[in-house]
A and B are shown apart, each in its own frame.
Chain A
Amino acid sequence: MSDQSFESVVYDDKTVKKFLIATVIWGFVGMLVGVILAAELANWRVNLGLEWITFGRLRPLHTNAIIFAFVGNGIFAGVYHSLQRLTKARMFSDLLSSIHFWGWQLIIVGAALTLPFGLTQSKEYAELIWPLDVAVVLIWVVFAVNFFGTLYFRREKHIYVAIWFYIATILTVAMLYIVNNLAFPVSLMESYPVFAGVQDALVQWWYGHNAVAFFLTTPILGLMYYYVPKAINRPVYSYRLSIIHFWSLIFIYIWAGPHHLLNTSLPDWAQTLGVIFSVMLWAPSWGGMINGLLTMRGAWTKVRKDPVLRLFATAITFYGMSTFEGPLLSIKWFNALGHYTDWIIGHVHGGGIGWNYMFLAAMALYLVPRLWNTSLHSVKLANAQFWTATIGLLLYYVSMNTAGITQGLMWRAFNEKGNLTYPNFVETVDTIVPMYWVRLIGGILVLSSMVIMMINLYLTVKAAPKEQKEVEYKVPKATWKKSSENKDEGHRRLEGLTFTFSILALLSVLIGSLVEILPAVLSTSYIHKDYTVDPYTPLELAGRDIYVREGCYTCHSQMIRQLPQDVVRYGKVSEASEYIYDRPFQWGSKRTGPDLHRVGGKYPDYWHYRHMLDPRETSPGSIMPPYGWLFKKKLDTAILPQKLKVMKALGAPYSEDEIKFASQNAQEQAEKIVAGLESAGVKKSMANKQIIALIAYLQRLGKRNEVAHDEKNVSEH
């Protein structure tokens, strides 16, 4: 082709290959950690009494590894591969590509070296400590510059629907990540968030929900629009549908966060917004499913024969199922039943395994032979992978939904006396433990399917030609850039204007964010007229940080919802004004154990002492792991003045003296607690151990000073 209107380009496929390898490795690691966690829930002894692998420490590693390491690398592989071909341009900068790849892997290693050691911010999927957050933002900016640079130098005038989704992803994730991680450092490893209590909860679930939306959904939809038509060789079903569902999806998705906080002390109006935008999200989500599945229409014979296509079809089907279940669970009645139960765990794994894993597996099986210039080692193995994963997922999904609905019904059952039918929480846990075993089997099957793929891909690459030559592609020159004339109209015109497009996408996600979050953050109406709440004493604060460190929130909530089953079981409804000093908030999202908001004063100190040492001594049948190390480790009181200082800067009314004498104050309170335990045989020397601080915090939970309206009741502390 000697035509002057063509030029040659070499795509950077080395980076794509690297990201693909990382995807597979981290996918295996993330799933392995998931299987360990499943085993720990089936039998608490699997925690082995080791702090680093105890459920609360390991669960954040699982979620972060799956979301950011596995799916993250998968997205990058797919975006780097498809973007270059859709723009007919090499990635903007090889250096940035390299920094992006290695920087991201270093962050993952950083996460693996901090989370098991209890270094965490405790906000779900935002647990990474602040130095790692800074690194994430920097690397994300590198990715964005590389991405938009490539777009700028593109040869193709119009950007394809896949790229629309990539743009929305990059901009929204940046916004979400930065706002939710705004924090004030206490030390190199610790920080307190700038938002407290109900505001922190709202910002967190705006983030948490949209991490699912803009990290696990929109980028994968973009990849779907490229790889599905490619793999099946069929045209995309409807261009019009892709326009409508893209814009409606990104505009509506961002509002739906409060459905994670239904019936809590979040203001009613925000909850109502969360409900309706979740309901309205049903159709935009299904728009993507329809466009994916109908693109495959007319080629079903191929789908039946080809495991890669079958994985794509199954992934899209699970996407459709999860995005129907999501709005359903956002309706208050269903939410009251399903929230805090394993139903939610089943729901997210329907999306995580069904949609994300199956899709990325199909993409890897499609890409690896093409990138390494060979053919797939074994279609049989790919078939085996498909069936193992599908059966595993079904076992997982059915067992968790059964467990969740069963437990949800037990929690809310009232007997003829007007009391709870199952007042003993442990009884409702022990009922569903058999389901935890079924889930473990399902998880092991999914992990096995991953191993099958690793073997298949490894043998594929091994058989590939040793010499991997870079291919030159002849692509049309970007002659459209020279002409100032633009005949496009409507959306087609916008597809040629990437800057305007990006601004519009950003505006779409900003509207919902601002309308929901600004009023809540700026509001100062979180003061109650009937009671006051004291800031935490230094020892309580230290205990709270231990609660955060151990990941107690992964199994316990601190939120008595406005539902009779919660009030009768746990006590007075939780009020927004009780959380004003809670940084970070600890409302939790799952009750593997009971709610703890009113646990303060419910049991004597010695009960907690024994319970933390061996939960089954005080709560027969409990599946909680023992926390022996809290009885050996000394509490670091030296850092307490610094902690109080940061809290004061954020608004807690500590006096200068309280800050100055924080360490002594903590010591005195600890000695007082131990004095009360001495008759039970607890030695005086325990006063400097971490367990005492944790007890101080637990005993403080849910305490407030009721104010008689004429006289102000100032309590000692």
Chain B
Amino acid sequence: MSNEENQEVNILESEKNLVLDHDYDGIKELDHPLPFWWVMIFGLTISFSVPYYFYYTHADGPSIRAGLNEKMHEIKEKQAAWEAKQGGFNTEKFNAFFKTEKGKKLGAKTYRRKCMACHADQLQGTIGPNLTDAYWIHGKGDIASIYKTIKEGVTAKGMPAWGAVLTEEQMYGVIGHVMSFKNKNIPGKEPQGEKIE
């Protein structure tokens, strides 16, 4: 079987003095030294790793949790600063915005994307309550309490907090959209909460 026969291993002139007397099924081995740059990489990774371990485990390196707490603190401060700048619900701004063409469009679009899955296309409710009847669970169906419910959510009942997700304009638009369906009494989910006359 000619294919299985071992051909003479091709050894370069410069390698002749490096050939070891090993022979494994015709395989020869050279005795090249370890490449310098390879030894350097190995040395560098070890000299990085050992102090790294001792710093984080046995010295005063910060724990992962401490790192998180610090970053969360910064985020909370940023959020508080933004809140302070906004100054809560702005009735004037809302009145000026929600009836405009832009406000109506933005409201309808945002509703479709974020709210419809639970409150249905005509706001008659499925997973979430019917928003077209006279019954309200959280607050009295007035603009301010709708704003609060949207922004902060009622997480225990499954209503997400949208304040972190929607812009102020989007929320105003959605409130306008909800108000335009108020008391239309579209048949859907049964009344929940208190009747507000």
A residues neighboring B (CB under 8 Å): 82, 85-86, 88, 156, 158, 160, 162, 226, 229-230, 233-242, 244, 248, 263, 268-269, 271-273, 275-277, 279-280, 282-284, 286-287, 290, 294, 298-299, 327, 369-370, 373, 414, 416-420, 423-424, 471, 562-564, 567-568, 573, 601-604, 606-607, 610, 617-620, 679-680
Contacts and interface: CB of A to CB of B under 8 A. Distances in A.
B38 A233 contact: no
Contacts of B10: 233-234, 298-299
Contacts of A230: 25-27
A10 to B, nearest CB: 12
A369 B2 CA distance: 11
A603 to B, nearest CB: 5
Contact of A606 (B48, B50, B127): B127
Interface of B: 1, 3-4, 7, 9-12, 15, 19-20, 22, 24-35, 38, 41-42, 45-46, 48-50, 52-53, 56-57, 63-65, 67-68, 71-72, 75-79, 81-82, 113, 117-118, 126-128, 155-158, 160, 163-165, 189-190
A269 B57 contact: yes
16 contacts: A88-B25, A162-B24, A233-B9, A233-B10, A241-B35, A272-B57, A294-B32, A417-B164, A418-B75, A418-B81, A424-B165, A603-B158, A618-B117, A619-B117, A680-B126, A680-B127
A160 B27 contact: yes
Contacts of B65: 562, 573
Contact of A567 (B12, B38, B72, B126): B72
Given A235-B30, A271-B64, A417-B79, A283 B56 contact: no
Given A86-B25, A268-B56, A416-B78, 7 more contacts: A226-B27, A248-B42, A279-B49, A417-B82, A417-B164, A419-B164, A602-B155
A240 B190 contact: no
Contacts of B4: 370, 471
Contact of A239 (B31, B42, B53, B68): B31
Contacts of B41: 282-283, 286
B57 A235 contact: no
A680 B189 CA distance: 8
A120 to B, nearest CB: 31
Contacts of B160: 602
Contacts of A283: 38, 41-42, 45
Given A237-B30, A240-B32, A275-B52, A618 B127 contact: yes
Contacts of A248: 42
B95 to A, nearest CB: 23
Contact of B30 (A233, A236, A282): A236
Contacts of A418: 75-79, 81-82
Contacts of A287: 38
B159 to A, nearest CB: 9
Nearest to B11: A235
A238 B34 contact: yes
Nearest to A242: B29
Contacts of B31: 238-240
A241 B56 contact: no
Given A282-B45, A298-B12, A263 B30 contact: no
Contacts of A85: 25
Q: Which of A248, A277, A290, A418 has the most CB of B within 10 A?
A: A418
Nearest to A248: B42
Contact of A369 (B3, B19, B77, B81): B3
B9 A272 contact: no
B26 to A, nearest CB: 7
A363 B113 CA distance: 54
Contacts of B72: 564, 567
A286 B39 CA distance: 11
A420 B32 contact: no
**Can you list the 7 inter-chain pairs with the closest CB atoms, starting with the nearest?**
A418-B78, A283-B42, A276-B49, A418-B79, A238-B32, A235-B28, A604-B158
Contact of B165 (A268, A279, A423): A423
Contact of A564 (B15, B49, B52, B75): B75
Nearest to A681: B126
B24 A86 contact: yes
Nearest to A471: B1
Given A233-B7, A239-B20, A417-B79, A263 B164 contact: no
A237 B38 CA distance: 14
